[in-house]
Amino acid sequence: MFKTAMVVFFKEMKDLLRDKKTFIMGLLIPLTLLPVMLFIIDYSMNSSQRRADDEIRIAVSSKDNSFYRFCTAHDDIKVVDVDNTKAAMESGIISAYIKVSENIDDDIVKDKDYTQDLDIQFNTSSIGSMMSTRKIAYYRDLYFILAQSLKKHVSSAEELRNMISNADINGAVMKEYPYTDDDGAANIDMSSMYFNMLVPMMLILYCCVGSSSTASDLSAGEKERGTLEALLSTGADRTSIIVGKLLATTAMGAMSGLCTVLGLSVYLIVSSGTSSFSLTFFEFLALLIITLFTSMFFAAVNLTIGVYSKSSKEAQTYLMPVSVISLIPTYFTYTLDVGSINIEYLCIPIVNIVCVIKEIFAGSLNPLHIGIVVGWLLLYVAAAFSLTSYMFKKESVVFRN
Amino acid sequence: MIKINGISKVFKKCEALKNVTFDVNDGEIVGLLGENGAGKSTLMRIISTMLTPTSGDAQISGHDLLSEPEEVRKSIGILFGSEVGLYERLTARENLAYFASLNGMSSKDASKRISELADIFDFNDYIDRRVGTFSRGMKQKIAIARAIVHDPSAILLDEPDAGLDFKASKIIFDFIEMSKANNKSIIFSSHSIENIKNYSDRMVVIHKGQIIKVFDVHEYREKYSDREINDILFNLVSEGEENV
Ligand SMILES: Nc1ncnc2c1ncn2[C@@H]1O[C@H](COP(=O)(O)OP(=O)(O)O)[C@@H](O)[C@H]1O
Ligand SMILES: [Mg+2]
């Protein structure tokens, strides 16, 4: 039986690898897509960071106050006049809009609480705007420090405004309170958010999609081309045939998954200086194991669908939602904190895969968790495969009318 | 030798075969005549163990259909349609070798048999080219070779003449006659009276899953003219229509 399964397996692999489409979709795209996406994200993060570093453009609600004077006196802040502040933020003309209370100068002079007199508004959907938050918060603090130190020496709002205008902000003040950038902490936070979402998503997607066209080709495709009857009328038993087909489907899924891991490794190696992610040997190994079992699971599911379908077209219709459904858990768990992963999460299909992938990249590899997830995956594989095998032997499925 | 004993097949909605019984001797060609939906393919699928009969059984070369399905499959060669059952991205040789090993042949025996077949059907020139590049006639030869790569004693052809031009059907019928000369038991189904009349020894007329007539083709051809045979068959089918 094993021999026949191997005969089927090797024939299918030969057949599959001669197909350019399989080669491009199954190997080339998974290999290149993830690193390209990650490099693009890094690049755009860096360029928005650079823009945030250069000069901050803001709009201020009124000019008749010491904050406005502070901003104009500061070389790195440019106050822009805009009509529609919201639109200006969305189009990136300004990074923030600051509403200044008309009492601010009086509050400072009269020693009242003036910290509530500045209302800074950001555009939360713009990366450029979010990148400037730290810088703007720093300028606000700088302004408060300055106001605090000057208020003892002034008696009127007018006097305060003049003193701020004449203060040596770009020289002595900046020297005393320099801006400290925590190694672009904001930047890395943003990329890691994307990384944490993209990597499990792409891995799972390619473990699934990598075997879906193969699965339909090897089952429904045979019905369509009329080769299934020739195959089923040979001396081979059906279990061997379907085992051989499952192995070939798994191999294609695993190859796509491994190409994704390989592409990811290229990214990690190239960006090792700038990225906060890296993998140790064991983490890499764990990632490979998870990838392998995940692709096995999807191969079995996809093949079940393929066996049921009458034509490749019908199979594609059913297979498409599988890949979409498989992505939903990755979307809902991307905010999940590694520390809060518990045993319940590790028992939900696909969510558990995302969880261990997150752990691997967070550097908190847990062999027990990996073991639990692999155990579950084996169980799913066994269940899906028994179903495939059962269907492949059932004449009302194989010869659906 | 093929023995078919009272085979019936009920699908969910319809009764596709009703108590079908006939034998095929070694070196005999049985033509299975029936209209579309008569049950020809269903019978072929049952004999090749792809479908299980609802009742009845069969023996092929002494192997029991129900208890020895793998042995049964190894003793039959089957061709559904005229040129199907080939993998386009594999070469002709790879296709044949695949089916040979699925039928349990050693690779040594297989390669010997494949070169034998290449000589018989004259496809040495393109045996190592991918099937996807072949013309229809070339594919047809490979499909026939594929069906008999394991040298089966029974040969089933389900409408092998459907939609073929003159040249292509000659390849098929030459093959059928050659198999007869090699003492195989052959069933070929068709909805063409002409082909069955010309190429079979016995004719089994099947209508809505039931055998309505079995007769010796040679005998009839001596007794009646072509037109008369056609008329007899036409009347049979019309009567069958009334009886069912
Ligand atoms: N897998 C199936 N499920 C249900 N009904 C079927 C199936 N296969 C064939 N039939 C029905 O059985 C009858 C015989 O079909 P078939 O054997 O294909 O006829 P033929 O080959 O003579 O044209 C038809 O009425 C067909 O609709
Ligand atoms: Mg038919």
Q: Look at residue A333 and give its three-state secondary structure.
A: coil
8 A C-beta contact, residue B82 and residue B168: yes
Residue B102, in any domain of the structure: no
HSE at residue A267, side-chain half, CA atoms within 13 A, is 25
Which of A227, A230, A395 lies nearest to residue B51, judging by beta carbons?
Answer: A395
Query: Edge-to-edge strands of the sheet including B15-24?
Result: B15-24, B2-10, B55-60, B63-64
Give the pairing type, strands A118-122 and A96-100.
antiparallel
Name chain B contacts of A15, Cβ cutoff 8 Å. 87, 89-90
- Chain-centre distance for alpha carbon A59: 33
HSE at residue A306, side-chain half, CA atoms within 13 A, is 29
Q: How far is Cα B7 from Cα B49, in angstroms, rounded to an integer? A: 12
pLDDT tens, residue by residue, A239-283: 999 999 999 999 999 999 999 999 988 888 888 766 667 788 899
Does residue A331's CB lie within 6 angstroms of at least one atom of ligand 1? no
pLDDT tens, residue by residue, A41-67: 888 777 766 665 667 888 998 888 888
Whether pLDDT at A90 is above 60: yes
Residues 6+ apart with CB under 8 A from A240: A1, A2, A4, A5, A8
HSE at residue A16, side-chain half, CA atoms within 13 A, is 31
Point out which residues pair with B29 in neighbouring strands.
B186
Residue B65, in any domain of the structure: yes
Per-residue 3-state assignment (H helix, E strand, C coil) for A234-251: CCCCHHHHHHHHHHHHHH
- Chain-centre distance for alpha carbon A144: 38
Of the candidates A98, A172, A108, the residue with the CA atom closest to the CA atom of residue A136 = A98
Per-residue 3-state assignment (H helix, E strand, C coil) for chain B: CEEEEEEEEECCCCEEEEEEEEEECCCEEEEEECCCCCCHHHHHHHHCCCCCCCEEEEEECCEECCCCHHHHHHCEEEEECCCCCCCCCCEHHHHHHHHHHHCCCCHHHHHHHHHHHHHHHCCHHHCCCEHHHCCHHHHHHHHHHHHCCCCCCEEEEECCCCCCCHHHHHHHHHHHHHHHHCCCEEEEEECCHHHHHHHCCEEEEEECCEEEEEEEHHHHHHHCCHHHHHHHHHHHHHHHHHHC
Whether pLDDT at A169 is above 80: no
| Reported confidence tier of residue A94, pLDDT bands at 50, 70, 90 | confident
8 A C-beta contact, residue A64 and residue A104: no
With a pLDDT cut of 90, the percent of chain A lying above it is 35
| Reported confidence tier of residue A172, pLDDT bands at 50, 70, 90 | confident
Which of B70, B87, B130 lies nearest to residue A235, judging by beta carbons?
Answer: B70
pLDDT at A311: 92
pLDDT at A344: 86
Q: How far is Cα A204 from Cα A351, in angstroms, rounded to an integer? A: 10
Residue B209, in any domain of the structure: yes
Q: Classify residue A325 as exposed, middle or buried by CB count within 10 Å of its CB (0-12, 13-18, 19+).
A: exposed
Disruptive mutation site among B70, B101, B129, B189 for chain A (greatest number of A CBs within 10 Å): B101
Q: Chain A contact for B90, CB < 8 A?
A: yes
Whether pLDDT at A182 is above 60: no
With a pLDDT cut of 70, the percent of chain A lying above it is 92
Give the residue, out of B8, B17, B35, B42, with the most ligand 1 atoms within 8 A of its beta carbon, to mutate for a pocket test.
B42
Q: Look at residue A79 and give its three-state secondary structure.
A: strand
Q: How far is Cα B23 from Cα B208, in angstroms, rounded to an integer? A: 20
pLDDT at A332: 78
Whether pLDDT at A189 is above 70: no
Q: Chain B contact for A18, CB < 8 A?
A: yes
Name chain A contacts of B90, Cβ cutoff 8 Å. 11, 14-15, 18
Residue B98, in any domain of the structure: no
Among A51-65, A307-321, A373-387, B41-55, which is the least confidently predicted range?
A51-65
Residue B43, in any domain of the structure: yes
CB contact under 8 A, B70 and A230: no
8 A C-beta contact, residue A264 and residue A347: no
ipTM of this complex: 0.91
8 A C-beta contact, residue A196 and residue A361: yes
Among A169-183, A296-310, B85-99, which is the least confidently predicted range?
A169-183
Residue B35, in any domain of the structure: yes
Structure tokens at B17: 């075969």
Structure tokens at A322: 């599988």
Name chain A contacts of B70, Cβ cutoff 8 Å. 235-237
Residue B115, in any domain of the structure: no
Which of A7, A19, A235 lies nearest to residue B73, judging by beta carbons?
Answer: A235
Whether pLDDT at A14 is above 60: yes
Of the candidates A212, A201, A151, the residue with the CA atom closest to the CA atom of residue A26 = A212
Whether pLDDT at A148 is above 70: yes
pLDDT at A276: 66
Query: Could you tell me the residue range of the domain that residue B170 belongs to?
Result: 2-82+153-239
Disruptive mutation site among A21, A217, A227, A233 for chain B (greatest number of B CBs within 10 Å): A233
Which residues 201-240 of B are in CB contact (within 8 Å) with A?
none
Neighbours of A313 (CB within 10 A): 11
8 A C-beta contact, residue A1 and residue A240: yes
8 A C-beta contact, residue B30 and residue B1: no
Residue B141, in any domain of the structure: no
Of the candidates B124, B106, B107, the residue with the CA atom closest to the CA atom of residue B115 = B124
pTM: 0.81
Domains and CATH numbers, chain A: 2-43+184-398 (no CATH), 55-181 (3.40.190)
Point out which residues pair with B189 in neighbouring strands.
B32, B158
CB contact under 8 A, B90 and A229: no
Closest CA in chain B for residue A397 = B51
pLDDT at A91: 79
Does residue B185's CB lie within 6 angstroms of at least one atom of ligand 1? no
Measure A206 CA to nearest chain B CA, in Å. 25
Give pLDDT tens digits along chain B (244 positions): 999 999 999 998 889 999 999 999 999 999 999 989 999 999 999 999 999 999 999 999 999 999 999 999 999 999 988 667 899 999 999 999 999 999 999 999 999 999 999 999 999 999 999 999 999 889 999 999 999 999 999 999 999 988 788 888 888 999 999 999 999 999 999 988 889 999 999 999 999 999 999 999 999 889 988 888 888 888 887 876 665 5
Among A47-56, A293-302, A316-325, which is the least confidently predicted range?
A47-56
Q: Output the CA A399–ligand 1 centroid distance in Å.
A: 10
Q: Mark residue B61 as left, alpha or beta (left: phi above 0; alpha: psi -120 to 50; beta: remaining).
A: left
| Reported confidence tier of residue A159, pLDDT bands at 50, 70, 90 | confident
Structure tokens at B94: 């790879």
pLDDT at A72: 85
Angle (CA) B40-B46-B51 rounded to 5° is 115
CATH number at residue B70: 3.40.50.300
Closest CA in chain A for residue B102 = A236
In chain B, how many domains are there?
1
Mean pLDDT estimate for chain A? 86
